[in-house]
Structure 1
Amino acid sequence: MKKIITFLLLFVSFTFTFAQVQNTRTLSWGGVDRTYIEYTPSAYDSESPIPVMFCLHGLGDNMGNFHNSLGLNQFGENANWIIITPQALDATVPMMGSVGAAWNSGAGIEGLPIIGNVILNEDVDDAGFLIAILDSLENNFSINTDSVFFMGFSMGGFMSNRMAIEHSDRIDGIASVSGTIGIAVMDEIPNTKVNTLHFHGTADETITYENAGFNTGSFGTYSVGLGAEQTVDYWILHNQCSDQAIHTYFPDIKNDGLSFERFLYENDEDDVRTAFIKVNNGDHAWYYEPVNDIDYSNEIYKFFINDMDFPTENIIVKSDLINIYPNPASDYVFVNQEFEMIELYDITGKIVLKEFNNNKINVSDLNTGLYILKINFEGKTLEQKLQIQK
């Protein structure tokens, strides 16, 4: 795990009536003593159930570094949540040796030369371990069982997705940063709907945006799971959300070379949502204020409590009002409506074409691939996907 910087979260102040407590706990599971950090906020009152958030570190990291780097005590204190930061077990791969602490998240490689299929810590019951912690918390604390959350970075994100898929009856929401759905679980179906938030940078070279490609070194790069957009599509489908996204751009103020946009898909009938924060030119990193335009921890908190910000001037809506044809296209694209301006973006979020009041768009110079058309029409910005094929 890299680029995780300690920072201070600014939330609502609380009146402190109890001493905050951080403990390192041990739980015997699968014949192994497993450890986790447990933080209880000072405002905890056994008469008032509070949320709990599990925080899962990345490959090769440890619970102490992850907990401290993200300032999770401060997060728990300000939010009045119990924070659990567990430790994964070390994993080894034949011919490669130790790869550090790894969750049995379902992330893995199929058909690695000589070695064959590899799922890190495949025989470790990490999901059972995490549920056992939750059982213990429910027995010893006043927990709001409708507010059990998981969040994780990189492999911790893969593990959060696995928990949502396999234990959706116990979990209200997950947030995954730079970790998708592993190959070992991507065909599984959750029992119930669960709120999901995914963050991914388009320039991520550790878990690539398009197909979750992971560089093994001498063996090359292999996909270890679903790509970023495939992961979001998985949850849209299983949460039965509308495919009409509420799409907002975050103000691009900081000189960090990044821009952030959010896609929100809702199921109003079941009060379930799937969200995706796309980081144009973003790396395998945890972004935070004041260095960047958004703070991942703040966005996770707001998503879990369903209190996201919506700057209306930036809303983009997918629409059937605009038709583009042919699609796929090779030389020209035609638009069935008159518009003020049209912009075409590549998969990394880079603008590659802009036209004004021209229904015939020349795309002959563009490479084969997927593009996004954004069209100013009747005071709104509408969005369509366009496939270029040569």
Structure 2
Amino acid sequence: MPYRHWLALAVLAACLVGCGVRHVSATHRDLTGSFRSGGMNRTYTMHLPPGDPVGLVLSLHGGGGTGNGQRGLTEFDAVADANNLLVVYPDGYDKSWADGRGASPADRRHVDDVGFLAGLAAKLQNDYNIAPGHVFATGMSNGGFMSNKLACDRADIFAAIAPVAGTLGVGVACNPSRPVSVWEAHGTADPLVPYNGGAVHGRGGLSHSISVGSMVDRWRSANGCQSGPASQVLPNVGDGTVVRRYDSVECTSSTEVVLYQIDNGGHTWPGGKQYLPKAIIGPTTRALDGSEAIAQFFLAHARD
């Protein structure tokens, strides 16, 4: 079996057992629910903060994963509690999202995941009195691709997104109705979703992704960013990775486009669990706490 196929199967196998699940103690603020969409009952796990929620975050798992697996991988609950964010971890159809690349089980079944996630967001906004303009989406891998698609198709709902290890499928249209702030993190040594774009051997088969640079340029153009990004290097923590931050702030409607390029970083969540050996998925950087940085980015880019 070619190495790339073995690699994809190894990553898929890891995700099938939870994609980074850690034990999470259930409390009265941890809820499960279902939402009817597209003729199916869609499920989700939700974590309520201790205070009144000031924003809603949809956190989307990778291919082969689950909402609860994404919860364990990112450990976003603690960050959400500290910032009074309501975070929901939806479950994709057959552990996948219809992000437009065509290969996933959800895409093959023509599932309307944009409709599902937009509808779920509207329900939770209403249930918990969350202001319009305070709805955000993040995700890992297939969930990162889906986060981008949500912003492309429903910029009226999602004020900011934070895709991790995911870009857009080749040929997927992206014509947002209004500017959206974007935070992206991606490892240059990602063996599953190549930093420079190309073939993705993921759940459901072969698809093709655009490069990280192309994705960032699309959002800079869509947001009318006027100048080239400012760059800085985060402090080195000696884990073999170097994190470079590229920040475009002169954009319309006070939006911002930020890229964290993780030199030698793998198919991982920054600061999250090393859910498979480095030899298989590459290293997880410790120079960046992805969940904390994402929460702060969302809070800074809510719409009035």
State the TM-score, normalizing by the size of structure 1: 0.64
Q: Does 1:240 align with 2:224?
A: yes
Q: Does 1:150 align with 2:137?
A: yes
Q: CA deviation at 1:78?
A: 1.2
On the 8 A contact 1:4/1:285 being kept in 2, the answer is no
Could you tell me which of 258, 279, 283 is aligned with 1:275? 258
Higher normalized strand content (fraction of residues): 1
- Long gaps (5+) in structure 1: 9-18, 91-100, 110-116, 308-390
- The AA in structure 2 aligned to 1:132 is G
- Taking only the aligned residue pairs, the percentage that are identical comes to 27
C-alpha distance in 2, partners of 1:302/1:4?
23
Residues 37-186 of structure 1 mapped to structure 2, 5 A cutoff: 37-44=45-52, 50-90=54-94, 101-108=95-102, 120-185=107-172
- The AA in structure 2 aligned to 1:301 is A
C-alpha distance in 1, partners of 2:270/2:253?
31
Partner of 2:196: 210
| Residue-by-residue CA offset, 1:305-329 (whole Å, 9 max, x unaligned) | 339xxxxxxxxxxxxxxxxxxxxxx
C-alpha distance in 2, partners of 1:59/1:216?
7
C-alpha distance in 2, partners of 1:247/1:167?
29
| Residue-by-residue CA offset, 1:42-92 (whole Å, 9 max, x unaligned) | 212xxxx610000000000011111133223222211101111100011xx
- Long gaps (5+) in structure 2: 1-10, 273-283
Q: Which runs of 4+ in 1 moved over 6 A?
A: none
Q: CA deviation at 1:7?
A: 11
- The AA in structure 2 aligned to 1:77 is D
On the 8 A contact 1:148/1:172 being kept in 2, the answer is yes
C-alpha distance in 2, partners of 1:132/1:70?
24
Change (3 A) 1:216 1:123: closer
Could you tell me which of 180, 194, 205 is aligned with 1:194? 180
On the 8 A contact 1:262/1:275 being kept in 2, the answer is yes
C-alpha distance in 2, partners of 1:268/1:232?
13
On the 8 A contact 2:79/2:292 being kept in 1, the answer is no
C-alpha distance in 1, partners of 2:226/2:238?
35
| Residue-by-residue CA offset, 1:236-295 (whole Å, 9 max, x unaligned) | 11111124111111011x221100011011235520111100000111011218971111
C-alpha distance in 2, partners of 1:63/1:159?
14
Change (3 A) 1:216 1:246: closer
On the 8 A contact 1:58/1:156 being kept in 2, the answer is yes
Return the structure number with greater relative CO, CA threshold 8 A, min gap 6.
2
Higher normalized helix content (fraction of residues): 2
C-alpha distance in 1, partners of 2:23/2:192?
24
C-alpha distance in 1, partners of 2:23/2:43?
25
Q: Which protein is bigger by CA-based radius of gyration?
A: 1
C-alpha distance in 2, partners of 1:302/1:270?
18
Q: Does 1:22 align with 2:2?
A: no
C-alpha distance in 1, partners of 2:123/2:299?
24
On the 8 A contact 2:50/2:81 being kept in 1, the answer is yes
Change (3 A) 1:43 1:176: same
On the 8 A contact 1:155/1:179 being kept in 2, the answer is yes
